[in-house]
Chains A and B, each alone.
Chain A
Amino acid sequence: MIDLTGKTALVTGGTRGIGKAIVEALVQAGAKVVFTGSSAESAEKAMVAFAESGIHTFGLGGDVSDPEQAQKVVDLSLEYLEKIDILVNNAGITKDQLFMKMKREDWDQVMDTNLGGVFNVTKAVIKPMLKARYGRIINLGSVVGSTGNPGQVNYSASKAGLIGLSKSLAKELGGRNITCNVIAPGFIATDMTEQLPEAQKDTLISQIALGRLGEGKDIAGAVLYLASPLADYVTGTVLHVNGGMY
């Protein structure tokens, strides 16, 4: 098993879905974890639910698309954790619509959170990581960033953009022992994929070699790997965890 005792992590968007599974896995591996939710209420609620299942962690509310709130989240996390070894940029939203009907604000909101949020949080974390000469930045992309998907011009563009961001960061920071990688989940059973029409879900499953939707823990496993010493020589890469769907 991967042991992250003594390591600390900040996970954005950790109240539900893939983020929740990531928080659980990191805590179970021994890391001290702070997670964020879009509001103080959702973070608090999730923190209580985690505690009830024996997962001790600290939740903060904050909209990462806002640079000031992102900075505040990181400042508070550093107070609690003292250092941030692992940053998991997981917070993301969808505003699906056929391109013909997509409003500019649907584009902007998705970009501001999925790409701008990663910029904001990483920017706030990077100085302490540089000083520590250690960092593991893990950005959550998506299979649709590589394949495209009807109705997701905004979302898929944001996730493809994340790959360029991560590869550049990997090059800038490699000399300082900071790695930056992307995990690109396929279709994982979460609230986000729950919204898809049944027919579309069936079509999707038929495209998955393993014949089923993924689970949060499938992605959490990839996070543990990239956060661990096993992946010390891995940077600027995209790890596809999608049951074989291309």
Chain B
Amino acid sequence: MSDVAERVKKIIVDQLGVEEADVKDDSNFIDDLGADSLDTVELVMAFEEEFGLEIPDEEAEKITTVKIAIEHIQKALNG
């Protein structure tokens, strides 16, 4: 597992108060991890802070699963 993936998962665990074992690649924040819509906004804020990124609102809306978050952040960091 890449460093980015680990950091993303740690943020999700902290932010949503879920068990690490429940945070799977295909976990959907709302459907699987019990997040509400404000939680998802805060998650993106936490990602922005952790990785020093700006994630525009229209991009943020697409980040619905753990996998998408990791891919998006990896892409942004490499771009």
A interface, CB within 8 angstroms of B: 127, 130-131, 172-173, 175-176
Contact = CB atoms under 8 A, between A and B. Distances in A.
B42 interface: yes
B77 interface: no
A8 B38 CA distance: 25
10 contacts: A127-B45, A130-B38, A130-B42, A130-B45, A131-B45, A172-B38, A173-B38, A175-B36, A175-B38, A176-B38
A127 to B, nearest CB: 6
When A and B form their complex, which 7 residue pairs have the shortest distance between CB atoms, in order from nearest? Answer: A130-B42, A127-B45, A172-B38, A131-B45, A175-B38, A130-B45, A176-B38
Nearest to B42: A130
Nearest to A126: B41
A22 B45 CA distance: 32
A131 B38 CA distance: 12
Nearest to B37: A172
Interface of B: 36, 38, 41-42, 45
Contacts of A127: 45
A131 B46 CA distance: 9
Nearest to B36: A175
Contacts of B41: 130
Contacts of A173: 38
Contacts of B45: 127, 130-131
B58 to A, nearest CB: 17
Contacts of A172: 38
Contacts of B36: 175
Contacts of A176: 38
A95 to B, nearest CB: 33
Contacts of B38: 130, 172-173, 175-176
Contacts of A130: 38, 41-42, 45
A131 B43 CA distance: 11
A176 B38 CA distance: 9
Nearest to A175: B38
A130 B49 CA distance: 13
A130 B41 CA distance: 10
A119 to B, nearest CB: 16
A173 B38 CA distance: 8
B2 to A, nearest CB: 26
A113 B27 CA distance: 43
A131 B45 CA distance: 9
A131 B48 CA distance: 12
A131 B50 CA distance: 13
Nearest to A173: B38
A127 B41 CA distance: 10
A176 B45 CA distance: 14
